[in-house]
Amino acid sequence: MPSRYKYCIVPLCANSTFKTPDKCFFDVPRKLDIREKWCKVMKRDFEKSTVLSKTSVRHVCEDHFNLEGDVCNYMQCKLQGGKMRLKKDVIPHKFECQRQDQKNIIRKIEQNKRQDLKSKLKDIETAISSLKDVLITKIFIQEKGEVSGSHKFIKTGVQSAETFLEMF
């Protein structure tokens, strides 16, 4: 039986009758206070939501329910088919799709941290290598017995490189 196109209104859930035709889609209750409750749990802004503020027919897919426990005619539908009906007062409670998004955000933060550390490490390496250069020049000049003016200049160089290293 062909039915009209439905999509899940849970933010970050991509299920629709086109993409996931085998999934079951439940009507969002029309009573405003219950709609508001549903919006809250699915992290959808009820006030700003243009698709939900009216009494329009909207849907939430089965991924956000535990069908066996939440559907009152579950066994009957399994055996004979038909439209599943949610038990009274059942609200969507599974949001795996949103958890996945949180995981991605955490992964991104970790990645940035690693990159940050890498660039810090690079800075340290640069500092060490310039410190080495300064020391080599210092030794070289000392051996050559250069004038004291150069010594002062090199001393400042060593000091600033040391200060820089202390920052880490």
Task: Residue 98: name the closest of 42, 24, 47 by CA.
Answer: 42
**Cβ(159)–Cβ(131) under 8 Å?**
no
Stretch that binds Zn ion, among 10-18, 28-36, 41-49, 79-87 (CB under 5 A): 10-18
**Cβ(46)–Cβ(37) under 8 Å?**
no
* Residue 161 makes contact with Zn ion by CB under 5 A: no
| Of 6, 28, 58, 63, the one binding Zn ion by CB under 5 A | 63
* Residue 17 makes contact with Zn ion by CB under 5 A: no
| Of 6, 7, 10, 52, the one binding Zn ion by CB under 5 A | 10
* Residue 134 makes contact with Zn ion by CB under 5 A: no
* Residue 15 makes contact with Zn ion by CB under 5 A: yes
Single-letter code of the amino acid located at 80: Q
The angle that helices 96-144 and 148-166 make with each other, rounded to 10 degrees, is: 160
The residues binding Zn ion (CB under 5 A) are 8, 10, 13, 15, 61, 63
